[in-house]
A and B are shown apart, each in its own frame.
Chain A
Amino acid sequence: MEHIAFTGLSVFTLAFAAGVVLSKNAVNGAMCLLLCLAGVAGLFLQLHAYLLAFILILVYAGAVVALFLFIIMLLDMQGGQPVRLRGLQAFAGAVAAGLLVTGLNLLAVRGRLFDTPPDGHSVGASLRLYSYQLFTTYLLPVQVMGFLLLIAMLGVIVLSRRTREPEDAP
């Protein structure tokens, strides 16, 4: 049963990931990204990472894809250019993707990932363990992350200011 769900979710995710790359229109690409992220959230659910699946939907589907769509509409990107597979780029892309998959396959075989059974207790499911980790071991990273968000916010404000102000501005 879980195998069927896994296969379905992976096919769904990979198909829409390919849709992001291949779709001519950027809006369709963003919609494909949304569905692909929903598939990944389903895989997270299967891995018992319920909180992460929820956050993925909330942050990515709710905020990031909406922001992407907003910017696509703002820049009026309708009727984008189709994918043109030019010789060198397509070759480099195919070689890089092939190397990546082969290398990971080798790693999986040599590291004996095949016979690793899933651990009995699924720690991702426990919200309590999560927050305990965040407020003990990872307290400093949480603070750094807060600073990062603050700095990113300031950066966005500075970036989106008008670069050339009129001379008679107060």
Chain B
Amino acid sequence: MTPALEAYVMLSAALFAIGFLGVLVRRNTLVIFMCLELMLVAASLALVAFSRFNGTEDGDVFVFFILTVAAAEVAVGLAIIVALFRARQTIQVDQLDSLKH
């Protein structure tokens, strides 16, 4: 007897909510980025669960693409963070407010 689909969906929602909370609460750009990854993985978990319970492979293939895009995204995002650090000597979002006013 496998766990029900809604257990997986709730788990993925909770994981997404934790990641979302981290994006809102944390001030360090790197940690915010890690929380974004957490949200991405939560969405993947929901897709895989739906795919398994519906008997289709489309969700699995979609997660395959999500993982590829996530790898590219992390590379570009970290390059941007390093460039930002070189330009401003900080990656705390409090101090990166040039566009705010």
Chain A residues within 8 Å of B, Cβ to Cβ: 2-3, 6, 10, 13-14, 17-18, 20-21, 26, 29-30, 33, 36-37, 40, 43-44, 46-49, 51-52, 55-56, 59-60, 63-64, 67-68, 71-72, 74-75, 77, 80-81, 83-85, 89-90, 92-94, 96-97, 100-101, 104-105, 108, 113-114, 116-124, 129-130, 133-134, 137-138, 141, 145, 148-149, 152-153, 155-156, 159-160, 163
User: Which chain A residues border B76 with CB–CB below 8 Å?
Assistant: 152, 155-156, 159
A13 CA to B56 CA, complexed, in Å: 26
Asked whether any CB of chain A lies closer than 8 Å to the CB of B99, the reply is no
* Chain B interface (Cβ < 8 Å from any Cβ of A): 1-11, 13-22, 24-28, 30-31, 33-35, 37-38, 41, 44-45, 48-49, 51-58, 60-61, 63-65, 67-76, 78-83, 85-87, 91-92
Number of A-B contacts (CB under 8 A): 236
Q: How far is the CA of A105 from the CA of B82 in the complex (A)?
A: 40
A-B contact pairs, 25 of them (CB 8 A): A6-B2, A10-B11, A17-B19, A20-B18, A20-B35, A21-B21, A21-B26, A21-B31, A60-B37, A64-B71, A67-B74, A75-B91, A97-B17, A100-B17, A100-B20, A116-B53, A123-B55, A123-B60, A124-B51, A141-B65, A145-B69, A152-B75, A153-B75, A159-B79, A163-B83
Check B72 against A148 for contact (C-beta < 8 Å): yes
Q: Which residues of B contact A40 (CB under 8 A)?
A: 15, 41, 44-45
Q: What's the least CB distance linking A78 to chain B, in Å?
A: 12
Q: Which residue of B lies closest to A52 (CB)?
A: B63
Query: From B75, which residue of chain A is reached at the shortest CB distance?
Result: A156
